[in-house]
Amino acid sequence: MSMVQVGVIGASGYVGSELIGILMKHEGVDISGISSENNQGAAFSTLYPSFKGQYDAQFESNQEVISKSDVVFICLPHGKSENMVKQCIDEGKKVIDAGADFRLNDLKVYEDWYETAISYPELHGQAVYGLPEMNKEAISQTSLVANPGCYPTSILLGLYPAVSEQLINTDRLIIDAKSGVTGAGKSLSAVTHFANKNEAFKAYKAGTHRHTPEIEEKLGQMGADNVKVSFVPHLLPVNRGILSTIYADLKSGSDSEHIHNLYKKWYANDPFVTVLDYGTLPDISHVTHSNQCHIGLTVDERTQRLIIVSVIDNMQKGAAGQAVQNMNIMMGFNETEGLAMVAPSF
């Protein structure tokens, strides 16, 4: 079998660089080209010196990358991907978009929350939401995958079994989530400056974060009725990782043993989701630098509330790792190819 030619547009950012590290280990692909708007002609290893002697390819133009690739990863901010995706699809390429442009089915909601106009509404109808544990069959048959947001990945995986089996009320879900600073991207800001972030911890965009409509829409597709989410993200003084704590009111008749057994059975065949023993809560450090999601469950018997704690590495399962997982499914590779890594807990 010939090697699949894979290109990365926007390879100079955190997600793009993470992709390069994964793809270098993938036995079924060659990296055909990389692009960067501000670094064309420079070597990748000048931006990321740890790659020196391992991957020294130069950044090319977007068109050069597209023309040489069978699969294109697009790692651009929202509003920047749509035209690029259109070009790739028109040229018969498969695309995984790591940005937000194709995640929402309701285009009006996207335009309102992201303050960005849609140019090719018909193109959005071709996109499949790339949460493999939810949409594996559809991912295997599409040419365009919308890679999920990092927060929604941890939250949706945490809620999927309970929502689909109608175990909880979804009209007042409370989600308290924390992310490492790489989730803010590579661009410098006062908020992520070391002197401001070190030894600090704060909430931000309470009730207004752009991942809110993505969470609500996908929960609806999982079977939830009348979804209302209070979502409050926080910025942790760590490089990577997301921990989402989810509070959901149980419907009558649901007990802790039944819920835990349901979760274990639900994810039994998903290689990147691990449901911990009942009452054991996960730690970000146990999934760092891996594509794993760890889920812990406990029931507050006094309030009859299910408490779900879900952790991922925002750069792996929350971005680049999940993008490669989607590519593996699209191209018929083993789902775990290039991703079989267990993180040390130190």
In angstroms, rounded to a whole number, what is the distance separating the alpha carbons of residues 333 and 341? 17
Residue 138 lies in a domain: yes
Residue 336 lies in a domain: no
Q: Do residues 103 and 146 make contact, with C-beta atoms less than 8 angstroms apart?
A: yes
What pLDDT score does 234 carry? 95
Q: Do residues 95 and 71 make contact, with C-beta atoms less than 8 angstroms apart?
A: yes
Residues 197 and 296 in one domain: yes
Domain count of the fold of the chain: 2
- Residue 66 clears pLDDT 70, i.e. is over it: yes
Residues 156 and 277 in one domain: yes
Residue 340 lies in a domain: no
In angstroms, rounded to a whole number, what is the distance separating the alpha carbons of residues 322 and 75? 13
pLDDT tens sequence across 180-233: 887 666 565 666 666 666 777 889 888 899 999 999 999 999 999 889 999 999
What pLDDT score does 139 carry? 98
Is position 150 annotated as part of the catalytic site? yes
Q: What is the mean pLDDT of the chain?
A: 93
b/e code 36-58 from CB counts within 10 Å (16+ = b): beebeeeebbebbeebeeebeee
Residue 180 lies in a domain: yes
In angstroms, rounded to a whole number, what is the distance separating the alpha carbons of residues 99 and 149? 8
Residues 124 and 208 in one domain: no
What pLDDT score does 190 carry? 61
Residues 180 and 301 in one domain: yes
Which residues form the domain of 209? 151-314
In angstroms, rounded to a whole number, what is the distance separating the alpha carbons of residues 96 and 67? 16
Q: What percentage of the chain exceeds 90 in pLDDT?
A: 83
Residues 301 and 156 in one domain: yes
Residue 253 lies in a domain: yes
Residues 289 and 321 in one domain: no
Which entry of 75, 88, 150, 293 is annotated as an active-site residue? Answer: 150
CATH number, position 69? 3.40.50.720
In angstroms, rounded to a whole number, what is the distance separating the alpha carbons of residues 108 and 119? 12
In the block, residue with structure tokens 């039994």: 268
- Residue 238 clears pLDDT 90, i.e. is over it: no
Residues 140 and 178 in one domain: no
Helix (H, G, I), strand (E, B) or coil at 297: strand
Residue 338 lies in a domain: no
What pLDDT score does 58 carry? 97
- Residue 159 clears pLDDT 80, i.e. is over it: yes
In this prediction, residue 114 has a pLDDT band, given cuts at 50, 70 and 90, of very high
Residue 16 lies in a domain: yes
CATH number, position 281? 3.30.360.10
Residue 346 lies in a domain: no
Q: What percentage of the chain exceeds 70 in pLDDT?
A: 94
Residues 47 and 100 in one domain: yes
CA 159 to centroid of chain Cα atoms? 15
In this prediction, residue 344 has a pLDDT band, given cuts at 50, 70 and 90, of low
> What DSSP designation does 195 have?
H
Residues 45 and 190 in one domain: no
In angstroms, rounded to a whole number, what is the distance separating the alpha carbons of residues 71 and 31? 10
Residues 106 and 190 in one domain: no
What pLDDT score does 189 carry? 64
Residues 255 and 132 in one domain: no
Residues 199 and 303 in one domain: yes
In angstroms, rounded to a whole number, what is the distance separating the alpha carbons of residues 76 and 20? 15
Helix (H, G, I), strand (E, B) or coil at 60: strand
What pLDDT score does 181 carry? 82
